[in-house]
Amino acid sequence: MKIGIAGCFHETNTFAPGITGLPAFQREWYEGDTAFRQAYAGTKTSMGAGLDASDILGIETIPLFYTYTTPSAMVEEEAVDAIINTLIQSVASEAEQIDGLLLIVHGAMVSESTPDVEGLILRRLRSILGNKPIAMTIDLHANVSEEMNELADYIVGYDTYPHIDAYERGLEACGLLHKHMEGCITPARYLARPGVLIAPTLMNTNTAPMSELMDLAFRLEREEGVLNVTVAGGFAYADVHCAGFTFVVTTDNDSSLAKRIGDELADWLLMHQEQFAPKLIDAKTVIDQASLQGRFPTVLVESSDNVGAGSPADATHVLRALLEQKQHSFMIVICDRQAVAWADNIGVGHSFCCSVGGKTDQAYNKPRMHGEPVEIAGTIRCLSDGKYKHKGPYMTGMAADMGRTAVIELDRGDGSLVVLTEQRVAPWDINHVRCLGIDPTKFDFIVVKAAVAWRTAFGELAAQAIELDTPGCCSSNLSRLPYRNIASDTVMISGKVPDNE
């Protein structure tokens, strides 16, 4: 028995400035067995799981094609065409040899004219694979469409956020394919769509209410005849009709069982939906409160500029607020290619004075959602190639590349640092800063441009973490965003400032 492995992975933020072209994907473009194995062998990813399935399950897996890029703006149509054509051609070349396909996608990829790229991929795959089984792994933040549910035999989503189980879910998907090809199971799926749109901030599977929902899903998944229960929280920053929470239940040829479980999960969410509203506080208030509490380091969660959800990573609202206070040290990472080039030209040990951040909106003639450039002054302490490997539980073994990176120690006398990068890289691993010789425990405030996944990097060292209410294309206050395409009956759970704060 042979299983092909193919995929493309992109989480598209339709509110983000700019457009995502083919070059963004070509940096991580793995076509054919050799390139695929060099990139993913030994990694704790879905791709690594597909490779390991050969030994674990005793089946042959054939790596075909995979590409991805960091979450970002709408994908250019030409890029989608090139990606899908390459993927389809790679599968077609082995279509007669393989007995099934492991398809690795995010589930929230959007192009200029295609709001459901994954659905289109499945449609094209069916034209060459016929009825051969397809198991599709998706992110917990997938927006699952009717077409995805109709055309995939198995949909297996991550059970964790931060996403530390991609490897396990990849193995699970391969296991389902194996059983299917042996004739042991026949899938019956049900897609439950409660019509609720929630920001990622309250989807941390380690804390309530999301942990309670996952516990229910796990309990229902253990019922006899159930093959998989996938909880897809949806991606609120893709303004598409199918955006929002869904539940995909797959049973062994029992449609009524799948429907009962899916409806029970949807009913639970509707009963508890208000618990998913994040508590948001403005940056100045948070800084003042933290000063009084004295609990450091405090992680300032700037989720409105969440790199892992497609933001430009150059918002300056929090940087400006931190510069205005003088009593506490801080560390913040800003993506600013121009500022890095300026630092590179000056050199380590020399003075640096430059306006940083707040440039992406301007470059694409967009409203200044992410703030204006902010002038900083300091000394260049480090210049680096910005490359490191994940050593923590999130994508263990994966290489990351921030591009040329400059560390600026500000002229404040407290060691505060502004890290400037060429590329946007999410703070999912502690090596994100340690590769630059930075000890994050030395700062009173650590700013993370993330929602939840930062906890795999900084969670253990944080005395407390506070979610900020700042403008941005990834705001947890969904009422800030100009939705046009979500279903008219969708209930939007927006962030709010607590009355007692």
3-state DSSP call for residue 73? coil
User: The pTM is what?
Assistant: 0.94
DSSP letter, residue 488: T
Neighbours of 501 (CB within 10 A): 12
pLDDT per residue rounded down to tens, the chain (501 residues) = 999 999 999 999 999 999 999 999 999 999 999 999 999 999 999 999 999 999 999 999 999 999 999 999 999 999 999 999 999 999 999 999 999 999 999 999 999 999 999 999 999 999 999 999 999 999 999 999 999 999 999 999 999 999 999 999 999 999 999 999 999 999 999 999 999 999 999 999 999 999 999 999 999 999 999 999 999 999 999 999 999 999 999 999 999 999 999 999 999 999 999 999 988 888 989 888 888 888 999 999 999 999 999 999 999 999 999 999 999 999 999 999 999 999 999 999 999 999 999 999 988 877 789 999 999 999 999 999 999 999 999 889 999 999 999 999 999 999 999 999 999 999 999 999 999 999 999 999 999 999 999 999 999 999 999 999 999 999 999 998 999 999 999 999 975 544 433
Q: Give the C-alpha separation, 95 to 284, whole Å.
A: 58
CA-to-CA distance for 80 and 435, rounded, in angstroms? 34
**3-class SS of residue 465:** strand
Nearest to 107 by CA among 130, 74, 73, 141: 141
Q: Which residues contact 334 (CB under 8 A, 6 or more apart)?
A: 313, 314, 316, 319, 356, 357, 418, 419, 420, 421
The DSSP code for 188 is E
